[in-house]
Each structure stands twice: as structure tokens, then as C-alpha cells.
Amino acid sequence: MTDAALAVPPSSSLISRGLLYGFIGVAIFGGSLPATRAAVLGLDPWFVSAARAVGAAVLGGLWLMVMRPALPARRDWLGLAIVGACVVIAFPVFTGLALQFVPASHGILFVGLMPLATCLVGALIGTVRPRRAFWPWAVFGAVTVAGYAVYEGGGRFGAADLLMVGAVIATGIGYAEGARLSHHMAPAAVISWALVVCLPLSLPAMVMTWPAAPELVPASAWIGLCYVTLFSMFIGFLFWYRGLVLGGTARVSQIQLFQPFIGLGLAAVFLGEEVGWSLLLGSVMVTISVARARRYA
């Protein structure tokens, strides 16, 4: 796709398709933290992080062998390494470690900040140019999440909260860089190459952290691992990056506003977690702040 083509505003049909793809991706990602929580309750979080990356790399490698896309340009390898480091390694590791100590519903509130993180990184790399009014709403969203974390933590910001902050920052970088690459690479190629690039790290890590007694691991943990491997690490990105390209990063990324509520519902249904008034209030406030911030992105 040429720079001239990118300058043409997308048609209404492309926008509609982009929004549909984006919503499917967000619905898939909404199950990521509940599935990760289920996995780390029975498996080592380092193993979960490595195994999901290896399994998704196998899928990505199969896609590359079947579709045979052109090799990435030399200038794109650094971007692919950044995507891999952020969404293949950093996000799974940070969330896996954090969800050992806090319920998925606690971590999901942090996920509500991902659109802001994506926009902030987009501003840094020049794909998004937010107006001045964007920044107060971005700060309001961040303060809301920090206030909730301190309230739930009995007056302190815990280690799990810091890990979730790291996960949000990593995801924002990975989403923004992946969207940039997807303008001239197939979205499936972006995530597939990012997964393959990380394989020299993820495969040895998986072998070294393999559970000593796999037969004793509860089925729920394996199901959670399968979900984050198949859907969160691969299929979800196919829909998400495609949606960002077709509908525009600023427009489609607003759909992430639904992700916390999807995740909260899944955590309540499948993990039996209690969704209290403070969590719902915090989610609503974050959603409002992100919606207003996106308006000025």
C-alpha cells in the first residue's frame, strides 16, 4: 500500500468492515486475562508465557509457509522485533506474574487504559496527532485506575499493579507499531513474523519451565493456556490489525472501550469473581475518560 493510498480517507464500507474486524478482535482479547488467570492458577506463569508464544509461533509459521508472503524489508525487522518484544513476551509475562496475586477483574481495569497507551505511542511515532484536549482526559483515566488500585490495595500501589502498568505500556507500543507495519504488510504476516522472531527465546524458556507433573495440572489451566495461545496470541491479532488498517487506528481503537466490560463478564461467569461497585464505577470512569480522549486523538 502506497503513501498516496494511505492519504485517501477510507470509504464507509471499509470503515464498517474495519469496525467489525476490530470488535471481533476486542471480544477475543476480552477473554485474555480471565484465561490467563485460569492458566496461572495451575501452571507456572513463566511456562504459560513461553508456551503460548511457542504455540502461536507454530501457527504463525504454518501461515507463512502456506501463504508465502514476501520477506519483510530490512527496515521492518526492527519493528517486528518491537512488536514481538511487547505483545509476545512482555504482555504475557507481566500479566501472568500479576495475576498470580490479584483476580482477573482487578487487572481488567488496567486494560481499559490500552487505547490511551496506543494513542500515546501513535503520537510519538507520528501515526496519531492528538489535540491539546486529549491530555487532560488521558491523565484522568490514568488517575482513576491508580486510585482504584490504591483503594483496593489498602492504601498502597502493589507490585501486581506495577506489573499491569508495564503490560499496558508494552501493549500500547506493540499495537501502535503493529498498526504501522500493517499499512504495508498483511496483518497476519506482522504477528506471524513477530512470533517467529521471538521463537529463539520462547522455545528454550518453555522447555526449561515445563511442569514436572503435567497430569496433575487441572484441566481449567490447560484450557486457559489453549485459549491465550490460539486466540489471544494469534487469531485475535488477525482481526485487530486488519480492523485498524481498514477503519483507521484512531477510529477502530475506540472499540477497546468494550474490552473491560467483556472481560469483567467473563471473569464473573467462568472464574466466579465478584464484580463490586468500586470496580464497576472505576470501569465506567475509565471508559468515559478514554472515550473523551479518543475524541481528541
For residue range 195-221, list pLDDT tens digits in order. Answer: 999 999 999 999 999 999 999 999 999
pLDDT of residue 155: 66
Hunting for cell 530490512 — which residue is that? Answer: 74
Distance from C-alpha of 129 to C-alpha of 134, rounded to nearest angstrom: 10
Distance from C-alpha of 38 to C-alpha of 219, rounded to nearest angstrom: 10
Distance from C-alpha of 175 to C-alpha of 157, rounded to nearest angstrom: 26
Please tell me the pTM assigned to this model.
0.83
What is the tens place of the pLDDT at every residue in 27-54?
A: 999 999 999 999 999 999 999 999 999 9
Q: How many CB atoms within 10 Å of residue 193?
A: 28
Residue pair 43/214 in contact (Cβ under 8 Å)? The answer is no
Residue pair 124/179 in contact (Cβ under 8 Å)? The answer is no
Residue pair 129/123 in contact (Cβ under 8 Å)? The answer is yes
Cell, residue 167: 503490560
- Choose the most confident range, by mean pLDDT, from 82-91, 175-184, 265-274, 280-289: 82-91
pLDDT at 99 over 70: yes
Distance from C-alpha of 18 to C-alpha of 115, rounded to nearest angstrom: 16
Q: Which residue spans within the chain are E strands per DSSP?
A: none
Identify the weakest region by mean pLDDT among 150-164, 213-227, 265-279: 150-164
Residues contacting residue 108 through CB under 8 Å, at least 6 positions apart: 33, 259, 260, 263, 264, 267, 283
Distance from C-alpha of 15 to C-alpha of 23, rounded to nearest angstrom: 12
Question: 223 or 238: whose pLDDT is higher?
Answer: 223
Identify the CA nearest to 81 among candidates 172, 181, 169, 165. 181
Hunting for cell 507500543 — which residue is that? Answer: 173
Q: How confident is the model at residue 237 (pLDDT cuts 50, 70, 90)?
A: confident
Rama region for 155: left / alpha / beta (φ>0; ψ in -120 to 50; rest): left
Cell, residue 13: 464500507
Rama region for 68: left / alpha / beta (φ>0; ψ in -120 to 50; rest): left
